[in-house]
Amino acid sequence: MDEPQIAEPLIEGPKQSFWRNLSFVWLVPLAALAVTLFIAWQSWAERGQLIEILFENAAGVTADETMIRYRDVNVGVVESVSFSDDLTSVLVRARIERAVAKALPSDAEFWVVRPEVTASGITGLSTVLSGVYIQAAFDPSEIETGATRFTGLDTPPLVLPGMKGTKVTLRTADGGQLTAGAPIYYQGIEVGKIEAPRLLDSGTGVVVDAFITAPHDKRLTTATRFWQTSGFSVNIGPGGLDLSIGSVAGLLRGGISFDTVFSGGQPVTEGLVFDLYESEEEARSSVFKEAIENPVDLTVEFEQSVAGLTVGSPVVYKGVKIGAVSTLGAFIEEGEDGQIVVLRATISIDPSRLGLDPDTPAAQTIAFFADAVTNGLRARLISQSIFSRSLAVELAELPDAEPAALGIFAATAPLLPSVTSNLPDPGATAEGLMKRVNDLPVEELMEQAIATLASIESLAGDENLRAAPDAFVGLMDDARAMIGGPDAQALPGELRQAVAELRGVAEDLRTAEAVTKLVTALEDASEAATSVTDVAGAFDEKIAGVPDLIDGLNQLTEKANSLELEQFLTMATQLLDGADKLIDQESTRKLPESLTGALDEARTALAELREGGAVENTNATLASARSAAEAVEAAVADLPQIAERIDGLVSEAEGVLAGYGQNSRFNRDTLDTLRELRSAAEALSSLARALERNPNSLLFGR
Amino acid sequence: MENAGRPTQIVTARAAGLIGCTHCGRVHPSGTQVCTRCGTHLTPRSVASLQRVWAWWIAGLIVYIPANLYPMLRTASLGKTLESTILGGVIELMHHGDYGVALIVFVASIIIPVAKFIAIAYLALSVSHRVRLSAHRRHILFEVVEFIGRWSMIDVFVVAILSSLVRLDFAATITPGIAAVSFALSVAFTMLAALSFDSRLIWDAGEQEAGKKEKERSIG
């Protein structure tokens, strides 16, 4: 332990300075610190100015969520919502951007924007999703006011600060039709709004602030008049029926219109008070008397009643209103016949309305009137409308009027001569109308009407009339049954059949042709001859005509005998056969029996004729004629027709025979025969007529 | 741990005048600048290592403050904008009843970063000051800190994913706040702090103490 040991050398490196030892890594926390501090400073700097807004209520305003907006841009956010110290209002603390806060004037307006549905439309719809926000409106101030405490509005202001326009005040007696926000129209265009009407402190009227937006407010002058346009109005007044209808929006919200009603108004200043009139007419008419800048007064005296004329009644000249009645009164004047009452009206005339210069001196205007009166200008009363009694003063030019002059007095206004006008008296007219109505025989008319109605009623109540429809129905049923019956149904068929038969007869007749007709004629002739012979036999030639006739017949028979009888007879027989055929036919059968009988006898006569000469058989013929007389007697009724037929047939036979051979002897003879036959037929006809007239002569021979 | 009781019997490389490569583990004689095997710069233990640790640590702590004060997420939904900080988000989640999620967020965003700060500070201090925790335990602590560091980025990833996915304009939009950046930086800085820490210092301190004791004993 005593041996000293070599101390171990303590080897140390060079002492490094503290700074040299310092690592560059330390820059990192420094940088981090710097950045963090910068961020902290920045966020502090960006932190907005705290302001306080007092609201009556703050429905929907929530801390950290509700935004403050200015011109629809977020400028801040609500930090807290609490109450004011006295708990009377809600205190909203909000941070708004410093740049905005700097320009915030102390009268900045804040209100809570909520969704709202009004007659004007829907507003604040975006807040349904995003929640309410606080809208700020202010006119940015140049200098920093440092205001941090504001009072919020309950409702959005109608006029935002910074809006360009003119605010005027309207005065009215009744604010019943005014609602806040109601539009103001200028010639139908919405140019502004009114605020909520408020009572005057005195309680004697209502005033309302109206704001006209910028480009339109230059329309406002002192000559502007406002009136209410509340949808529509019906007014029956002195001016008659007045119906005015505004827009539908106006109907819902009410509204106010204005117009410049006369020229020469001065530009308005902010806050000027205007009167609000009930109607456009009132507004326009109210203007007039105020508008006369240089009125000229004239006096008019009326002798007739002026009932209906009032102060303010118009004075018209050729339909144009040139003035108004300013005073009206009755005055007692001393006249020649004692005291008379004169109704005197003072009228104010606007020279400019007459086309004169508005600044024309009164004297000059009066001179103009004096000149006009000399030329026949007169005042007279006219009715303003047919419906009312209200009157107007008309200045009419009546060249035929009695000469008069404008009475110029020192004391009173110049007197304009008047004429009595024929005013229609609505009362009298109505009375006359009523009287005329009264005179109508209304009661008699009514009585008659009642009686007529009663008779109609009794008729209608009659049983028979009631049964009539049933009878008609029965009749109709019967008729229907008859028409529907088999007989009626068969009728057309029968008719058709009859027509066919007739056609058949016609056909047969056609086939028989002329010869048939000739045979018929001959048969007739034979019959006639037989009859005549018979008659002659019966009356022993007492009748002078008959022997002649018999002679004629005999001659005829002789002639016939001398003719080529065989041929004729053959033909005649053929014809008779044809005639038989004809007679066999049903239609022929229906011919009169007597005719058939006559034909039979004619046949027998012909048979006898064939057998021998007619003369030889005269007696037999006469005998048969006697029997035929009866037939004749029966056929007497048919004789005229037979005679006619004979005549017609003879004519036809003549025609036929004419074609048979013009110059043959037979022809000629036949024609002669036929002519004699015709004369015989005529005689027969006259006989028949005689017999017809006196049938007994046939029996008694005379 | 069995040799914990007899540390003096181990001859450390440093005692033997050797220096080990931190990358590949090859041992070189003291004074060698570059690893002959892998070319890594060989650094002896230095106090500068602790300096770096503290520098990153402080930087991490600085940016951790705005990460908690400023909003992490800015959620705009139907016109309403909601900003939420980390702690505010946790409280909100709890209000909604999502305790599990709230716990995850709370642990990942508050507990772990704070624990990391404390652990790194403790380790750094333990180099120069005597601590009760044994060197072995401190080493385990270091390992844990280094491992868990990367998981702290969960929050940042969530914000990044959300803000890139939820872009529905008016309906819903999520944008990252300042805190997201701060938090990411904070995590990065603490990771760098943990990386900067030379874990050999833990053992050096133990060795020095052991050496002193031995010297005292031999002197005594």
Euclidean distance between the first and final Cα of chain B, in Å?
A: 28
**Residues A39, B70: C-beta atoms closer than 8 Å:** yes
Q: Check residues A480 and A220 and name the one with the higher pLDDT.
A: A220
Write down the CATH number for the domain with range B45-219: 1.20.140
The full set of domain ranges for chain A reads 48-153, 165-288, 295-424, 499-700
Contact A576, A512 (CB under 8 A): no
Residue type (1 letter), A382: I
Q: What sign does the CA torsion over B181, B182, B183, B186 have?
A: positive
pTM of the model: 0.44
Whether pLDDT at A615 is above 60: no
Give the residue from chain B lying closest to A126, CA to CA: B79
Pairing relation of β-strands A320-335 and A198-199? unpaired
| 3-state SS class at A516 | helix
Question: CB-based contact (8 Å) between B110 and chain A?
Answer: no
For A579, the token pair is 């005639």
For A364, the token pair is 């000059």
**Residues B59, A28: C-beta atoms closer than 8 Å:** yes
**Residues A130, B70: C-beta atoms closer than 8 Å:** no
Q: What's the count of helices (H) and strands (E) in chain A, helices before strands?
A: 20, 26
Angle in degrees, CA A167, A168, A172, rounded to 5: 145
Give the residue from chain B lying closest to A41, CA to CA: B66
**Residues B51, A131: C-beta atoms closer than 8 Å:** no
pLDDT exceeding 70 applies to what percent of chain A?
Answer: 58
**Residues B78, A40: C-beta atoms closer than 8 Å:** no
**Residues B80, A43: C-beta atoms closer than 8 Å:** no
- DSSP-derived secondary structure for A77-107: EEEEEEE-TTSSSEEEEEEE-HHHHHT--TT
Each residue's pLDDT tens digit, A273-327: 788 887 777 777 765 555 566 677 788 888 777 777 777 788 888 878 888 887 7
For A208, the token pair is 């309302």
Question: CB-based contact (8 Å) between B189 and chain A?
Answer: yes
Q: What is the pLDDT of residue A349?
A: 82
Tell me which chain B residues have a C-beta less than 8 angstroms from the C-beta of A126.
79
Question: CB-based contact (8 Å) between B121 and chain A?
Answer: no
The full set of domain ranges for chain B reads 1-44, 45-219
CB pairs under 8 A between A and B: 54
pLDDT exceeding 90 applies to what percent of chain A?
Answer: 0
Mean confidence (pLDDT) of chain A? 72
CA distance A108 to A49: 15
Question: CB-based contact (8 Å) between B117 and chain A?
Answer: no
Residues of A with CB under 8 A from a CB of B: 21-23, 25-26, 28-29, 31-33, 35-36, 39-40, 43, 65, 126, 129-131
**Residues A22, B56: C-beta atoms closer than 8 Å:** no
Helix (H) or strand (E) holding A562: helix A545-562
Q: Which pLDDT band, with edges at 50, 70 and 90, does A10 fall under?
A: low
Nearest to A157 by CA among A185, A141, A175, A180: A180
Contact A216, A223 (CB under 8 A): no
Give the mutation candidate from A5, A23, A61 for the B interface (greatest B CB count, under 10 A).
Answer: A23
Whether pLDDT at A173 is above 70: yes
Count the neighbouring beta carbons within 10 Å of the beta carbon of residue A60.
Answer: 16
CA distance A294 to A348: 9
Nearest to A261 by CA among A273, A272, A274: A274
| 3-state SS class at A342 | strand
Each residue's pLDDT tens digit, B161-198: 888 887 777 777 888 888 888 888 888 888 888 888 87
Q: What is the pLDDT of residue A487?
A: 64
CA distance A101 to A51: 8
DSSP A72: T
- DSSP-derived secondary structure for A617-636: THHHHHHHHHHHHHHHHHHG
For A77, the token pair is 């956010």
Contact A264, A290 (CB under 8 A): no
Q: What is the pLDDT of residue A618?
A: 47
For B138, the token pair is 């401190």
Task: Classify the complex by whether its ipTM is higher than 0.90, answering yes or no.
Answer: no
Q: What is the pLDDT of residue A25?
A: 77
Q: What sign does the CA torsion over A101, A103, A108, A111 have?
A: negative
Q: Which residues of A29-50 are buried (b: 16+ CB within 10 A; e: fewer)?
A: beebbebbeebeeeeeeeebbe
Q: Per 3-state DSSP, what percentage of chain A is helix, strand, and coil (rounded to 5)?
A: 45, 25, 30
CA distance A655 to A515: 11
Nearest to A394 by CA among A377, A412, A406, A408: A377
Contact A406, A415 (CB under 8 A): yes
| 3-state SS class at B166 | coil
Q: What is the pLDDT of residue A692?
A: 61
**Average pLDDT for A269-276:** 77
CA distance A244 to A230: 10
Question: CB-based contact (8 Å) between B63 and chain A?
Answer: yes
Question: CB-based contact (8 Å) between B196 and chain A?
Answer: yes
Q: What is the pLDDT of residue A207?
A: 84
**Average pLDDT for B44-56:** 77
Nearest to A205 by CA among A183, A175, A240, A166: A175
For tokens 């530009």, the residue is A267
